[in-house]
Chains A and B, each alone.
Chain A
């Protein structure tokens, strides 16, 4: 790699730390909420930079063992009924898909896997239909 230190992961980490240290305490309301969202996004990118390559390889292996090259192919096979709903093949497919979901959560929101759901700022600002009446 032609790049000097810090690594991409360390660069992202430095921005996240600045947001946490300086921006959060200096802001309030909507800007602070969006700063929290930004911190979560950067932490997610850091985790993906750390484990993403390994996950991609493991995912390709899982799919290949089932005879598929991509998630799109597997999704189409489940939809068409080519993959059965019951029996050992169905179980193998579900096990593989579940492993992929766990990998995605390991990057997106690891606490979700432990039964804690609130790593994102828990708020409903993101939910589209609340019109703030009252």
Chain B
């Protein structure tokens, strides 16, 4: 769909609003993202790209449920999976101003105050998100993460002894299934919008599923998402800060060992994802020396797995 066609179609789905400043933003692999102004209101539209088989309706139902539960998220202005509107499933979202680039959030002076509050704010956002009644989003599916990544690794056919050691440890130490909640699935630095005062919005809900809420806490602490900082929680806070604030907001005490289990699984997941990203280059799907280089980051995750499991085998 051309730029002008998209502008015309957006006007149609927004009740004839005047569409200006329609600009393509750097997009992810599964989404095409544009910013625009509709009758002086800044908005965002995300269109699903071909090849992404996920049901976008699930994502915008979760976003609406999250907003109702008090999670800071962009508001869904209008959304549809009817491809006759914009040529693909889409969501029009309110535009939340702020920064998503981890390096800036962790290092720029403009975010010094934000860094002080962020761990606590993330704990409260998680508490709100985990309070969503799962029956309000009936299309969400439970996901067995171990099974899922086992299959990804087997498909890649790049066996790694470290990963097999980690899989065995994870099987042997699997925590009792907790209460099933709505889980964001990719809750980390890079997927949150941060302003000078801290957390503005939780973004990127396409991996949301049903599961153990501790998955989100563990993933948030995976070392790759500290982007070089020595602080475990998103590079900005200590474990106790996250756990105490989460417990205060939910009334549920956090078992650090369960979060650790999810952090180990998260480290394994990111290690496997590094292989996936390098394969995108090697296969010719996206030729890029940056993707190629990520293949040599697999060993960082292997290193982190050994570190995390030292004394726990």
- The finding on whether chains A and B are genuine partners in a shared complex, rather than unrelated, reads yes
Contact with A along B198-236 (1 / 0, CB 8 A): 000001101100000000000000010011100000000
Q: Is A86 an interface residue (CB 8 A)?
A: yes
The size bracket of the interface on B is: 35 or more
The size bracket of the interface on A is: 35 or more
Binding site of A, secondary structure by majority: helix, strand, loop or mixed?
helix
CA distance A93 to B162 in the complex (A): 10
CA distance A125 to B97 in the complex (A): 19
* Residues from chain B with Cβ under 8 Å of A104 in the complex: 296, 298-299, 302
Taking a contact as CB atoms under 8 Å apart, the answer to whether A85 and B297 are in contact is: no
Taking a contact as CB atoms under 8 Å apart, the answer to whether A131 and B102 are in contact is: no
Once A118-B228, A133-B193, A134-B98 are accepted as A-B contacts, the answer to whether A75 and B28 lie under 8 Å apart by CB is: no
Nearest CB on B from A34, distance (A): 6
Once A86-B313, A105-B303, A132-B25 are accepted as A-B contacts, the answer to whether A78 and B297 lie under 8 Å apart by CB is: no
* Residues from chain B with Cβ under 8 Å of A113 in the complex: 303
Closest 7 CB pairs of A and B: A75-B159, A118-B228, A104-B299, A78-B164, A108-B296, A124-B190, A101-B302
Q: Which residues of A contact B (CB under 8 A)?
A: 34, 37-38, 40-41, 44, 71-72, 74-76, 78-79, 81, 85-86, 90, 93-94, 97-98, 100-102, 104-105, 107-109, 112-113, 116-118, 120, 122-134
A-B residue pairs in contact (CB < 8 Å), sample of 24: A37-B289, A40-B293, A41-B289, A71-B160, A74-B161, A75-B164, A78-B165, A79-B159, A79-B164, A86-B313, A94-B165, A98-B306, A101-B299, A104-B299, A105-B300, A112-B300, A122-B103, A124-B101, A131-B33, A131-B46, A131-B203, A131-B204, A132-B100, A133-B44
